[in-house]
Amino acid sequence: MENGLSKTSVKKIAIAVDNVFRISELFLLATGTGATAVLLIADVFARNFFKSIYYSDELAQIFTIYTVFGGVGYAVRKARHIRMGALHDLMPDRYKKALTIAIALASACVMLVFSYLSVFYLMDVIDLQHKTPALNLPYWVVILIVPAGFFLAGMQYLLTVIRNLIEKEVWSTWEQKTEYED
């Protein structure tokens, strides 16, 4: 590589960035899923023995938004997203890596554009001063995760591109080699 960056140093930087993203994604997924479970179980218990928690549905929706958008990057990391597997299988071996890089780069661009645009949406929501009905929480707090989720997914796709540029094998994500069964 040019400009004094070796493959080893690029790989070390990418691993450090990936570790930060992994911890963030796992935290969002674990807290969102755990909080939703605790809330819904508590609501069922309260509804049967006391009085239902009036804001539980709204809070469950908020936790779901955080879990979904917090988990987008994790889904990309673990290759749990829609892939062009059929097209990939039909390609000659020498083109598979180029196709993987092109798809990952295009996906990164889409996710980063979505992140960029969702920041403007977030600013509009802040200006409108909308609040949630039951909790009276500013709605921008609910959707704050959206730009971050798209950004994390975009970064995962860029890490996939980097991995494919510095390694000989074809990688479907930073962590996983592309392996299709025949």
List, for residues 56-99, the tens digit of each pLDDT value: 888 888 988 888 888 888 888 777 666 666 777 777 777 888 88
pLDDT at 125: 93
The string of pLDDT tens digits covering residues 111-135 is: 999 999 999 999 999 999 989 888 8
- For residue 8, the model assigns a pLDDT of 75
Tokens coding 172: 């479907």
Confidence grade of residue 181 (pLDDT, cut at 50, 70, 90): very low
Q: CA 138, 143, 145 angle in degrees (round to 5)?
A: 130
Q: How far is CA 43 from the centre of its chain?
A: 29
Residue 179 is predicted with a pLDDT of 65
Bridge partner list, 177 = 171
Beta bridge partners of 138: 131
d(C-alpha 121, C-alpha 143), whole Å:
9
Which residues have a Cβ under 8 Å from the Cβ of 158 and sit 6 or more positions away?
A: 104, 105, 108
Task: Report the number of secondary-structure helices (H) and strands (E) in the chain.
Answer: 6, 0
pLDDT digits (tens, 9 = 90+) for 156-178: 899 889 888 888 888 777 776 77
Instruction: Assess whether pLDDT exceeds 90 at residue 28.
Output: no
- The per-residue pLDDT for 113 is 97
Give the DSSP letter of residue 175. Answer: S
